[in-house]
Structure 1
Amino acid sequence: MNVSKTREVSFLTWGTHGHLFTVRPGVSVDTALDCTTSMLDTAHELMLAAEEIDCAAARVAATWLIEMAGAALEAGRISPSK
């Protein structure tokens, strides 16, 4: 059985220095999806907490988690050429 794996995807642009982080290639897509679910659940909880306590740090953390989740999804996407 051929297990789909992630490919390298960079994320979190840091000013003019480029991307700060990269999703590792070769992770199973199932693992990447599990991580994505956890990141989005945590981001959702952070956003709810940020609303209640008006916390900018929680909003920033949630935004970073959402960007990480998007990169993990992109890393698991099958390229159109395959």
Structure 2
Amino acid sequence: MQMDPRGMAPEDLSHAGSVIDKAIEYMVGQNIAPLSIASALLGGALGLLARTMDDGAIAQVLRSALHSVESGELREMRDEQG
């Protein structure tokens, strides 16, 4: 996995995000409930992390996600959508 020139994120992160966005769009079109979609994606992500990272690294990823919630970053995303 290569980092971008600023060393901030893997170069393929945007591509992976686009694939996930399309998968979400497809599942919404199949009338799958948003909570079911999110739960399945989170479960899959945690499974991938468990296969590729140690527990400390996984905990750091989860702490970062929690910080995004607590800081209002996710609320801002929700507010932008209307």
Common fold: TM-score over 0.5: no
User: Which has the higher relative contact order, 1 or 2, with Cα contacts under 8 A spaced 6 or more apart?
Assistant: 1
If each structure's strand is expressed as a fraction of its own residues, which one has the higher value? 1
